[in-house]
Amino acid sequence: MDFGSAVLAGIVATVVMTAIMYMAKSMGMDMDMPRMLGLMFAGPDKSGLVFGIGLMVHLMMGAVFGIVYALGFEVLGVEASWLWGAVFGVVHGVVAGTAMGMMPAMHPRMGDGEVLADPGPFARNYGAMMPAGIIMMHVIFGIVIGLIYSA
């Protein structure tokens, strides 16, 4: 495994996925992972700090998932490609969507009467298009990892 390429692929894929998240707001999908992650560490009165911390955490998570995907390619003995990245992205999206329902148990500012509403499984409480959006964003994430890691 090429550790540096895996980390780079994960970071670039996270930047692409984050850009898509912000563009998707115009389609009714209000998922702001940097804000959500940042609010775990700083209060809502510190908006610049919330975004900065959240973006750093999101990029670090992307780097870790870049390594996970690269290890997955190796363990399965498959050539890294956009197609295998998309397959991993579907699995990743299903796991992430399922975990969204557990977020209030981990997030200090999420749930009843808090800053962030409970997203529910696959973030259904954030909009009707969110379940498909979560899967598609992770598929794109995987495609970018497959393309960059294979280069």
pLDDT band at 47 (very low <50, low <70, confident <90, very high): confident
Q: How many structural domains does the chain have?
A: 1
Q: Residue 71 sits in which domain range? A: 3-150
DSSP state of 115: S
Q: What is the rounded CA–CA span in Å between residue 49 and residue 59?
A: 15
Longest dimension (CA), the chain: 48
Alpha-carbon separation of residue 119 from 17, 62, 122 (angstroms): 19, 21, 7
pTM over 0.85: yes
Write out the H or E segment, with its range, that includes residue 90: helix 82-100
pLDDT score, position 64 = 98
Is the pLDDT at 26 greater than 90, yes or no? no
The pLDDT tens digits of the residues spanning 112-143 come to: 777 888 889 998 988 888 899 899 999 999 99
* pLDDT per position as a tens digit, 74-100: 999 999 999 999 999 999 999 999 999
Q: How confident is the model at residue 29 (pLDDT cuts 50, 70, 90)?
A: confident
